[in-house]
Amino acid sequence: MRVFVTGAAGFIGFHLSKRLLEKNYEVIAFDNLNPYYDVSLKEERLKQLYLLKEKNNVFFEFFKGSLESFPTLESIFNNNKFDCVVNLAAQAGVRHSLKDPFSYIQSNIVGFENIIELSKRNKIKNFLYASSSSVYGGNIKMPFKEEDQVSHPISLYAATKRSNELIAHSYSHLFNLPTTGMRFFTVYGPWGRPDMALFLFTKAILNGVPINVYNNGDMTRDFTYVDDVVESIFRLLKKPAKKDPDFDNNKPFPNKSWAPYRIFNIGNSNQTPIMKYISEVEQSLGINAKINFQPLQPGDVKATYSQTSDLDEWINFKPKTSIKKGVKNFVDWYLEYYN
């Protein structure tokens, strides 16, 4: 199977590409290597993929470009035949969307439209894309279920991800394109993003610098280890969305359809207090953190918590890596990578 992975130099994209190559899948990788965070980390991830290509003698090719460039994407589609597309490229970050909204519109909406349109034209058998737990926005009923309404985003980032889900449904309906949206819940692990909490906490604690903890520490997250996310995507690749014969138009749940369209939560199904998360970092490092408590930031939510029974039923897998194991794996990687 040949898979087109966008955002392949990113955190999840790298881990997915690595898994696919280890399983002898053919991978066409795409990324713009933008400077939203340390480009050298992205380049090192790509280096790891090239090393794996040489070691296992598998097909891997990388293209640098932006989703916003339709001609660039069109050329790649014209010169390569894909079975599946996994769109993980996006402008990430809730807080950054308050500072630079236009980059989110370009990458997450214009770019998304480009790649789903080309997937339709090229009759892709399975189109998967990254959504986010952020789409649940102002919802307070826990746990978050895919059938919940998601009409009240509290950040532009969340709004763009919900837009992706709506655009995908229109393509599934109009063109019979199987689309699967994946609502990721706070993914963490080795090779993670430097702008995310675990990376920031670890770096600050090692340097003796206070860490900022928002909402005065009264926050919980459904932290999900990256290997569990990759396992979920890997299984979803082999099981495209199908039409739901029991779909009821009088009670139209937003996660299924009469069209080949599905949305799944991909989370650990645990609410971990942020202070517990910090405690695990402290234990892994053997150093106590200095904490600077801050108010809740605009666009942030107080809690996330996923229900993943639909995912488990669909692919017979449920993310389950413990916080203790996942944080230790990250810290071990961090200490080795940064010497």
State the pLDDT at residue 262. Answer: 98
CA distance 255 to 272: 26
CATH number of the structural domain spanning residue 81: 3.40.50.720
Please indicate, yes or no, if residue 333 is contained in any of the structural domains: no
Using an 8 Å Cβ cutoff, are 324 and 277 in contact? no
pLDDT at position 14 is 98
Residue 295 covered by a domain: no
Give the angle subtended at the CA of 274 by the CAs of 273 and 276, to the nearest 5°: 65
How far is it, in rounded angstroms, from Cα 23 to Cα 69?
A: 31
What CA–CA distances, in Å, run from 75 to 72, 122, 198? 5, 12, 38
Domain ranges, residue 146: 2-186+226-267+306-319
Question: Given 36, 129, 136, 157, which residue is catalytic?
Answer: 157
pLDDT digits (tens, 9 = 90+) for 303-322: 999 999 999 999 999 999 99
Q: Residue 78 has what pLDDT?
A: 97
Residue 46 lies in a domain: yes
Total structural domains in the chain? 1
Q: Judge whether 133 lies within some domain.
A: yes
pLDDT score, position 100: 86
- Supply the pLDDT for residue 152: 92
The closest of 29, 21, 27 to 56, measured between CA atoms, is: 21
For position 339, what pLDDT does the model report?
87
Whether 277 is catalytic is no
Nearest to 267 by CA among 157, 186, 148, 161: 186
pLDDT (0 to 100) of residue 269: 95
Q: Is residue 193 part of a domain?
A: no
What pLDDT is stored for residue 93 in this prediction?
78
Residue 120: strand, helix, or coil:
helix
Instruction: Look at residue 218 and tell me if it is in a domain.
Output: no
Within a domain: residue 67?
yes
Cut 0.85: pTM above it = yes
Number of Cβ atoms within 10 Å of the Cβ of 283: 14
| Residue 250 domain flag | yes
pLDDT of residue 91: 86
CA distances in angstroms from 29 to 77, 89, 195, listed in the order given: 12, 11, 23
pLDDT of residue 300: 84
Name residues of the chain where pLDDT drops below 70: none
Distance, in Å, from the CA atom of 339 to the CA atom of 331, rounded to the nearest integer, reads 12
Residues in contact with 296: Cβ distance below 8 Å, sequence separation at least 6, in sequence order:
214, 215, 219, 302
